A and B are shown apart, each in its own frame.
Chain A
Amino acid sequence: TQLLEQSPQFLSIQEGENLTVYCNSSSVFSSLQWYRQEPGEGPVLLVTVVTGGEVKKLKRLTFQFGDARKDSSLHITAAQPGDTGLYLCAGRLPGGGYQKVTFGTGTKLQVIP
């Protein structure tokens, strides 16, 4: 059983289209991060959300943390070929000694020019 499930696993869209990627769990997270990873490179942090219901915008990317802090979504408006990559959500579970970040299963996005 995966702690953090992402959907869809793969997404191929045309340039200019909108898309939403989902990250779901049955566990409550103290914070959740979204990363983008290019092939052969490390994950690059896009955003951290902490408060239930929080919405953050990063240019054409909109991130939302669910009210119950169990899920999150990433919405991309007018996708561009440069958005192509692997999108990972990652969460920290609450608790004093819990430092590790648990990664989701990933969504591979391809934006076709």
Chain B
Amino acid sequence: EPEVTQTPSHQVTQMGQEVILRCVPISNHLYFYWYRQILGQKVEFLVSFYNNEISEKSEIFDDQFSVERPDGSNFTLKIRSTKLEDSAMYFCASSEDRGASEAFFGQGTRLTVV
């Protein structure tokens, strides 16, 4: 069964460092998303991406964040200068289309900023 895959599963980084989280969405899907979940809190939307551009972003997704689809298969989330409060599980998701179509989630990357 097709699935969304994320790497790495766990990333530890020092405060102020740049990190890139990687995702391979399901191959025929057109919409891609990043969500995060701080430990013990709800899953929060960060950004959606369609047709090689950001289509929607939340207030969390500030100038420190960027997304890219560099090669037609990978979908990346970059955090330029990590802060302690960026520590969270980051989930990538993809969907076939918008509207009623469900989003399928990856297993997540646990980011720990020290």
Q: Residues of A at under 8 Å CB distance from B? A: 30-31, 33, 35, 40-45, 48, 50, 88, 90, 92, 97-106
Q: Is the CB of A50 within 8 A of B100?
A: yes
In whole angstroms, how far apart are the Cα atoms of A104 and B43 in the complex?
8
Of A42, A98, A99, the residue contacting B91 (CB under 8 A) is A42
Cβ contacts under 8 Å, A102 to chain B: 45
A103 touching B50, Cβ below 8 Å:
no
> How many A-B contacts at CB < 8 Å in the complex?
67
Chain B residues within 8 Å of A98, by CB: 56, 98
B97 to chain A, nearest CB (A): 9
Asked whether B107 lies within 8 Å of A99 as measured between CB atoms, the reply is no
A100 to B35, CA, bound (A): 10
A42-B91, A100-B48 known; A30 vs B43 contact (CB < 8 Å): no
Q: How far is the CA of A101 from the CA of B104 in the complex (A)?
A: 11
Given contacts A33-B102, A40-B89, 7 further A-B contacts (CB under 8 A): A31-B102, A42-B89, A42-B107, A97-B56, A98-B56, A99-B56, A104-B42
- Whether B75 sits at the interface, judged by CB under 8 Å, is no
Complex Cα distance A74/B58, Å?
A: 28
